[in-house]
Every structure is written in structure tokens, then in C-alpha cells.
Homo-oligomer: A and B are copies of this chain.
Amino acid sequence: MQYSIYFFIVVSIIISALSFIYAAVLHRWVKKQPSSNKRIAEVGGLIRQGADTFLKKEYTVLAKFAGVIALLILIFLPTPIWKGTFTTNLTMAIAYICGTIFSGIAGVIGMRVATLANVKTAEAAQKGIKPSFLCGFRGGAVMGMAVVGSTLLGVALVLLLTNDTTPLLGFSFGASSMALFAKAGGGIYTKTADVSADLVGKVELGIPEDDPRNPAVIADNVGDNVGDVAGMGADLFDSNVASMAAALVMGISLDRVSGGMVNASMVLCYAASGLLASIIGVAMARMGKNGDPTKALNNSTYITTAIFAVLTAIATWIFNFQWRIWGASIIGLAVGVIVGIATDYFTNDNKKPVQQVAKASESGPAFTILSGVSYGFISTLPALVGIAISALLAYKICEPIGPGYAMFGISMAAVGMLSIVGMIISNDAYGPIVDNARGLAEMGGLGEDVIEIADTLDSAGNTVKAVTKGFAIGAAGLTVISLLGAFISEVNVAAAEHNLQGITGFDIVNPVVFFGLLVGTAVPAVFSAMLMLGVDRNAQRMVAEIHRQFNEIVGLKEGKEGVVPEYSKCIEIATNGALKELIPAGLVAIVITLLVGFIGGVEAIGGYLAGNIVTGLLLALFMSNSGGLWDNSKKYVEAGNNGGKGSVAHKAAVVGDTVGDPFKDTAGPSINTQITVVSLVSSLMSTIFLTMSLFK
């Protein structure tokens, strides 16, 4: 049977509507859960307010930034406006703005629910682990459904309304801009608060985590939501849109050759299947008899994976898609799982690396750092090899279909890997909800038993988070490879329009390409360094503020009844600092891209993107994994190993954990976004780089 593309667009819109309906149902369910503790409600309210403050500020700054970019797009992209391309440029600018808005809406929905679910989860823990788990999970699932629903809806609408691929890149660029703010800005926010709260609270004063006397405690809890709910959501929205955009750009360019829209249809159909699989997976998620939350989370992921494989197989059969491309998608999915397992090995406290680092900590913090860095370096190998092999296999499987299909195969592997992203985000957003719930249980004085339940749920969140982070990086890896393919498509379209010679590839031995490759290599390092220095500077400001409050507010240190710190001051510092520190880092990445493009043209950009991708992946994997490893080493020591709490090893492990925090929550995961932003800027600028550059 041959269906029109409009059929698939309509199906996509229906399934995204379904996901929104399901998100609403889950939201109502969470809202209906009982809550009675006044103190928890109060603190929960403060967290919610803090999160709102950040989002408002972030969206205000983003709106200005996006306004400027949209204006630049209107004037220059894809072709300077004086060449009579007003309508095209306007469409592009609108698509860009829609990209930011769709991502933003998903972020708001997710945050609203997360800052509601944390309270409900804390209260539910009084009734046992199962209801509490369900509450946290369903709260997270709202974010999952909202993000993937708006991805599919947005992409389908852009396609329906413009009937063109270039605006898709504009939409994707909008999503990337949003992700840059949400992920990198949120990453700075969360670690500023976390590090400052720990430094003054735990280290200087020796008061427990989540102690309400600490002026940074609310900012810290807000940070979990800002970084891990909104940030991770925007990041995966971005990857998801980018992978679909790249696949559609290539698919439609293939469709133009062969007639019909079968490849584009396939992209939509697979993405819709993934969303449907995620809905079913979420609906089926329940904690088994043994009450192990990690297993519950992982099982729902596996179920979703299986459903996706079956659904797409059926669709491929019904709609007569290429089985080879189906194979490529399944390879992508499999690699996602492999990268996840590899990440798990390096960050799981049952395995050698975490235990070795704990042992090394006995000789002092320098050895914690050295061994952690070493295992972090080694951990990049399986993931990079996995991505390399999957790209190679996807390419080789799809190559026989015809010219151009090989690269399309890689992009479909990325789509396959990201198909279950709804489930991934649900698992991921679960983390900060239960983390918050733990804090609330403590602050609400719910007693040891309840805190222990919250702890169990929290620890499962951390384990699952390591895996989903590996997954996110793997997905980003395949996505950016396919963005490289999309870049070539764009360049060739532009070249044809301007009667210039197109390109077929980028030869490493060409010095212009190699020039780009070397410069591209440095960018992720510089970008992540700037973010980390930003956390450092921002934390210094906040530490000064905390000191001021403890000195000036009478009775605060002693915990006198009725004396509360000025939480909002810390929230303000975290918010303003995050955005202030983020923008230079983002600009440096973009400016270097433009310089490389104007110096070396599209060929230098090809090398530049490749360099950026490979070292970006390397550093992202290194920093995420060593950060997770240090976190778990510290927990391993705290559980009584290598001397336990208070020992030399413990102090050293705490240093490792503090170093690891900005590694894994600020710099590491933000590199994905940096790569996507740079790739999209390059694609959008392709005409300009093609026609104006110093060297060719």
C-alpha cells in the first residue's frame, strides 16, 4: 500500500494529541494524591516559587536572545534578504521561534508537575514505597509525554505548513537555543546551589543536607528541577527534534529523486511508533513484588524498547518500508542500550571502578581524582566504539538501497535510538522528584522510616540517571553524525542554486578540512571549561551571601524557632549568575564557528564539525562518567566501606564528588547541546559559507 505523507502527518498529530491527553490524565492523578503536612506544603511552595523565578528569568533572557537571532535569521538566512527571499527567511524565523516556544511549553509543563509531584511523593512515602514510587514516576512521565508530544507535533506541523525541509532546521535551531539556556544555564544554576549549600552547610558548619537553616537549601532543591527536569527535557527535546530534522532533510532529498514521500513518511511513522510505545510503557510501569524501584524503571524501558521494535516491524510490513532501514533503527536502539550498560559498569558501586576509586581515596584526594579521571577516560572507549560500529553498520546495511541511503540509514539509527525518549525522560525526571521528596520528608520531619523509603527511591534515581545520561550522549552522537549529513545536503542544495560545485565529502588530508578539524577539537573543551569556571565564580558569590545571612540574621545559626533565612536571595544569585555565565560560553562556540566558516568555507566547517563531534563525545562521556563514578564512590564509602563516614577515604571521596558535580551535571551534558547548536548554525549558514570565505 502507498499512503500519502499527509496520512502520516495526521497520524503523528493524533498520537501527539494522545500523549498530551495522557499527560493531562497523569497530571490529574498526581494532583489528586493526598497531602496534609503543612511544613511540606510550605517548603514545596517555596521550591515551586524558586523554580518559577528561574523559568521566568530564563525565558525573559531567552526571549531577547531569540528575538535577536530571529531578526538575524530574517535578514540573512538561509539567503540574505536583499536577494529577494523575504518569505523564505520569514518562514525560517517563525519556525525558529516556534522551536523555542514548543520546547519552552514542554519545560513549563514538566516543571509544574515536578514541583507538585515532589510534595505528593514525600507524603505518599508515609504509606509505603509502592505508592510513593508510582507518584514520582507518573510525575516524571508527564514531562516525558509533554516533551515527545511537542516534538512530534512541532515537526509534523512545520512539515504540514511549509512543505519544505529548511524550516525544520530553523525549528531545530530554536529547540537548540532553548536547550542551551535550559541545560547549560540550568547546569550552572543547579551546581552553584549544590556546591555552595554543601560547602557552607556540610563542610563549614557540619549541619545536615537539606537543613532548613541553610539559606541555599531551597535554591538547591530548585536546582534539581531546573537542571534535571527542565534542562534534561530541553536537551532531549533538542536531540529528538535534531534527529528527526536531519532524517527528514535527507529523506525528503532522497524522495525528490525517487518520487513520492516514502522516506519522509517512514521517519514520521517511526517517531510516532516510538511515542506510542512510550505511552504504553509508562502506562504499564509498576513496581513488582520485590519492591525494587531500579528494576521497575529498567523494566519499563525494556518493555518500551520491545514494543517499539514490534510496532515498527508491523508498520514496515504494512506500509512497505525498506526492511534495511528498519534494521538500522533497531541497531541504533541496541547501541543505546549498550552505551547505557557500559556507563553502568563504570558508575555502579558493585563494579570494580567505583570500588577502586574508593580504595584509592584512602591515600588522599589526589588519588581519588587521578583514579577517577583515569576510569573516566577508559569509559569513553566502549561508548565511542559502540557509536562507531552502529554508524558503520547502519551505513553498510542501507548502502545497497541506493545512493544517499547509507547516510539516511545513520540518521534512522539516531531516530531509532531516540524513539523511546519519552520513556527515558520519564525515568530521568523521576530522579529530581524523588530527590526533592527526600529533602521534603527531612524538612517536614516525617521520621526515619519515611526518609529511608525516599532514600531508596532516590538511589534508584541516581543509578537510572547514569544509564539515561549515557543514552542521551549516545543519541546525541548519532544525531550529530546525521546532522553532518544534513549539512552536506544543505550545502549541495545551496550550491545548485548558485551554480557552484557541490561537495561529496570532507577530505581529512585537505588542509582546510584539517584546519577545521583541529579548531573544532578545542571548542568543546573551551566551552565546558567556561561553564565550570562560571559555576566556580557563581558559587563564590553565593557562598558570600550565605555567610552574610548566617552572620547578620540573628538566631539563624542556632535554629531559633521562627527565624528563616532569605531563601530568595540565594535563588536570585543562582538565577542571575547562571544566565550571565552561560552566554559568553555559548557566544564563544558560535563565534569560533563563524570564524572558521569565513576563513575556510564549507570544507573547513566539515572538518570543524567532525572535530567538534568526536572530542565533544569524548569529553561528554569522560565528564559524565567520572562524575557519576565519584558520586557513587562517595556513597560507597559512606555505606561503611574503606573506613566509612569521617575517614580519610571519606574526606577524599567528598572532594571527588565535588569535582564530579559540575563535571556530570554542568559541563558534560551541556556539550551535547553545544555540538547541536554549532551543527545547526553551520547548516543554516551553509549558503553564506559557500559563497564567502577566505580560503576555499
Contact = CB atoms under 8 A, between A and B. Distances in A.
A392 B360 CA distance: 45
A481 B360 CA distance: 38
A99 interface: no
B512 A392 contact: yes
A318 interface: no
Contacts of A316: none
B522 A364 contact: no
Interface in A391-447: 391-392, 395-396, 406-407, 410
A517 interface: yes
Contact of A509 (B365, B506, B622, B655): B506
A385 B505 contact: no
Interface string A495-513: 0000000001111111111
A518 B618 CA distance: 9
A658 B516 CA distance: 35
A388 B507 contact: no
A659 interface: yes
Contacts of A369: 369, 655, 659
A538 to B, nearest CB: 12
A617 interface: yes
Interface stretch (A331-339, A526-534, A545-553, A570-578): A526-534
A538 B510 CA distance: 44
A20 interface: no
B407 A509 contact: yes
A515 B389 contact: yes
Q: Is the interface of A mostly helix, strand, loop or mixed?
A: helix
Nearest to A662: B370
A4 interface: no
Contacts of A173: none
Nearest to A387: B518
B662 A363 contact: no
A247 interface: no
A622 B610 CA distance: 20
Interface stretch (A217-225, A231-239, A251-259, A372-380): A372-380
11 contacts: A369-B369, A370-B662, A374-B532, A375-B529, A391-B515, A392-B600, A392-B695, A508-B508, A508-B610, A521-B618, A611-B614
Given A199-B364, A364-B658, A365-B365, 20 more contacts: A366-B655, A367-B658, A370-B536, A371-B532, A371-B536, A377-B529, A378-B530, A384-B518, A388-B517, A391-B514, A392-B600, A392-B695, A396-B695, A407-B509, A484-B508, A484-B509, A506-B507, A514-B610, A521-B618, A525-B622
Interface of A: 199, 203, 360, 363-367, 369-371, 373-378, 380-381, 384-385, 387-389, 391-392, 395-396, 406-407, 410, 481, 484-485, 488, 504-519, 521-522, 525-526, 528-530, 532-533, 535-536, 540, 543, 600, 606-607, 610-611, 614-615, 617-618, 622, 655, 658-659, 662, 695
